[in-house]
Amino acid sequence: MKSVFITGAGSGMGREGAKLFHSNGWRVGAVDRNDDGLATLGRELGDERLWTRAVDVTDKAALDGALADFCAGNAGGGLDMMWNNAGIGESGWYEDVPHEAAMRVVEVNFKAVLTGAYSSLPYLKKTPGSLMFSTSSSSATYGMPRIAVYSSTKHAVKGLTEALSVEWQRHGVRVADVLPGLIDTPILTSTRNHSGGGEVPQSPEEFRAAAPKKGLFRLMPADSVAQAAWQAYHHPKRLHWYVPKSIRWIDLLKGLSPELVRGRIVKSLPGLMSDR
């Protein structure tokens, strides 16, 4: 029986990933700091082949312990796939985002991915064809304004993915990531806008109604990212998975002219340069 360990599995993309892999007969280790989200996942999927634990991914000892306990129940004590998915956001002009809030984004979005890589490697090495998979972002194709720190962490995840995809070949461990665009998950409507008084700007219903219906940044369901994770395991050569696939064009254009992409971003985001 194959196994996957998913961080940030209590909601959104991680939750959909847990459901997809579980439905295909995998043993799923699901961790999240949100115990309520894990509890509802457990009620939905049942106890068979599902292992859950409340874990703060910034706590290395807690993540180490969770991986050790989960993998102890796997064949040979190994792990087929590690999915570093947990992430948070803070928005606003760079100088408006409190330093402690920005550093928390770095802790969760990048440092915890580094920890996940260190912690999972011993188990991945035991399993032929294993994969370390991480959630990057479309904001890792070009630095995005008003989510500058978030965007920076996702660039870092992408860079780590590329480096380890070379290094870990000597261990027989594959490495890949996913770069989602606008995905219908709680982070979109729970992220504080520090340049707008710190409030959450829209309700989920308002956000969905206003979100683009077509184009690179059309609103996509969370299960589209889960499908990318599933495909990544079964297609060992591809390094970056874009959701939707057209997001890749930003990477291609930036390689030719980052100035062109900068200009297009300014033009494509109405109100970008306003104070709110």
Give residue 97's identity as a one-letter amino acid code. V
Answer for the pair 57, 31: CB distance below 8 angstroms, yes or no: yes
If residue 266 lies in a helix (H) or strand (E), which one and from where to where? helix 258-268
* DSSP state, residue 167: H
CATH (domain of 188): 3.40.50.720
**29, part of any domain:** yes
Question: How many other β-carbons are positioned within 10 Å of the β-carbon of residue 115?
Answer: 20
**168, part of any domain:** yes
* pLDDT band for position 266 (cuts 50, 70, 90): confident
What is the percentage of the chain residues whose pLDDT exceeds 70? Answer: 89
For residues 204-233, average pLDDT: 78
Of 84, 87, 216, 215, the closest CA to residue 142 belongs to 216
**262, part of any domain:** no
**39, part of any domain:** yes
**224, part of any domain:** yes
Give the tens place of pLDDT for each residue, 211-224: 566 667 777 889 99
**67, part of any domain:** yes
Q: Which residue has the tokens 């709680």?
A: 186
Q: Structure pTM? A: 0.92
User: Which conformational region is residue 198 in: left (phi greater than 0), alpha (psi within -120 to 50 degrees), or beta?
Assistant: left
Give the tens place of pLDDT for each residue, 157-170: 999 999 999 999 99
Q: What is the pLDDT of residue 73?
A: 96
Domain that holds residue 168: 3-250
Total domains in the chain come to 1
Answer for the pair 218, 212: CB distance below 8 angstroms, yes or no: yes
Question: How many other β-carbons are positioned within 10 Å of the β-carbon of residue 47?
Answer: 8
* pLDDT band for position 276 (cuts 50, 70, 90): very low
Give the tens place of pLDDT for each residue, 63-105: 999 999 999 999 899 999 999 999 999 999 999 999 999 999 9
**231, part of any domain:** yes
Q: Check pLDDT > 80 for residue 196.
A: no
**119, part of any domain:** yes
